[in-house]
Amino acid sequence: MRLINSKTELSTEIQLIKTNNKTIGFVPTMGALHEGHLALVKRAVAENDFCIVSIFVNPTQFNNATDLEKYPRNLEKDAKLLESAGCKIIFAPESEEIYNPEEINNRFEFDFNGLDNVMEGKFRPGHFNGVVQIVSKLFSLIQPDKAYFGEKDFQQLAIIHHMVNTMDFGVEIVDCHIVREPSGLAMSSRNERLTEDQRKKAVEISKVLFESRNFALKLSPTEVINRVIDEINKVPELTVEYFEIVNSNTLLPLASWAEPSVGCIAVFCGEVRLIDNIRYKL
C-alpha cells in the first residue's frame, strides 16, 4: 500500500493503472475510520482491481470552526486499518495541495436542483457546496470506475448522484447500507467524541427510529415526526435539531405513506452532532 500526499504523484499512479486497463474503486473519507468505512473499502477491494481511499478533512464543508478543529484525526491508525482491508493507495493531501486561497474563501457554486433546501442543507448552509467541490476534484484526479458512499449521509448520497448525472463523470456510485454498532447506534467518526455515558444515551436515537416504523402504521407522517422528536428530546443531553420524513427520491416533504420514504434526523448529544436515518417504504 502506498501513502501519497501530492497530486503529481497520484496522477502518475493513475496513469499507470489506466494504461494497464485496471479498474479503480474509490472511497472518499475524512479519516477517523470505523467499521462503516471499512465495509465500503472491503466492497471496493472486492469489486475492482485497485482500491484508492482519500483521507482529507475538507475545510470547505464545515460551517462550524469548532467542529472542523475537533474533527478526529489519526492517519497512522487509519493507514493500518486500510492496509489490512486491502487498500492499495491512500491519498492524504494537505489543504494547500487541494485548494488555492481563493477557493477556500469563496463558496463553490453548484445547482442542486433544490436537493439542498432541506435537512442538512438547511441547517448547515454551504455544507453541500463544499462536499461537491471536494468530491468533484477527487473524481477528476482519481478517475474512478466506481465510488462508494454510505447511506448514513442520505442527503449527501442523493446530491452525489445528482452531481454525477449533471457533470457527466462516468463513475458508478455505489450506495452502501448503514453499519451499526450492536447497540444500534449508527457508526460515525464523531462517536469518538462521545463519553461512555453519552454513547448510551445516543443509542436512543436509533431505538426510537426503529420503533417509529411500528407507530408509523397508525399515524400520519407529521404525527410520526412529532412523536420521534418528543421521545428523543426526553433523553437527557439529546436535542433534536431536525427530524424530517421525505420522499427518498426528491427529498421533498412526504405527502402520504404511498411514496418511497425516509426519515432523516440530526441530534446533538451534548456538543456532538450525530445524524441517522430510517427507511419506511422503499
37 is catalytic: yes
Kindly give the residue spans of alpha helices, DSSP state H, lying in the chain: 7-19, 35-47, 65-70, 75-85, 95-98, 101-105, 119-123, 127-142, 154-167, 196-215, 221-233
Residue 187 touches ligand PAF, criterion: CB under 6 A: no
Q: Of 188 and 212, which has the nearer Cβ to ligand PAF?
A: 188
Identify the active-site residue in 37, 127, 161, 162: 37
- Please check whether residue 54 is in contact with residue 26, taking contact to mean a CB–CB distance below 8 angstroms: yes
Closest-CA residue to 129 (of 161, 93, 96, 156) = 156
- Please check whether residue 92 is in contact with residue 3, taking contact to mean a CB–CB distance below 8 angstroms: yes
Residue 264 touches ligand PAF, criterion: CB under 6 A: no
Q: How many residues bind ligand PAF (CB under 6 A)?
A: 10
Q: Mark the segment that binds ligand PAF (CB under 6 A) among 7-15, 24-32, 65-73, 198-206.
A: 24-32
Distance CA 32, CA 16 (A): 29
Q: How far is the CB of 149 from ligand PAF (least distance, A)?
A: 7
Residue 232 touches ligand PAF, criterion: CB under 6 A: no
Grid coordinates given for 113: 436542483
3-class DSSP assignment, residue 72 = coil
Residue 276 touches ligand PAF, criterion: CB under 6 A: no
In one-letter notation, the amino acid at residue 280 is Y
Residue 38 touches ligand PAF, criterion: CB under 6 A: no
Site string for ligand PAF, 114-153 (x = CB under 6 A): -----------------x--xx-----------------x
Residue 25 touches ligand PAF, criterion: CB under 6 A: no
Which residue's entry shows cell 421521545? Answer: 231
Residue 176 touches ligand PAF, criterion: CB under 6 A: no
Residue 30 touches ligand PAF, criterion: CB under 6 A: yes
In one-letter notation, the amino acid at residue 20 is N
The residues assigned a catalytic role are 37
Q: What are the residues binding ligand PAF (CB under 6 A)? A: 28-30, 58, 61, 131, 134-135, 153, 156
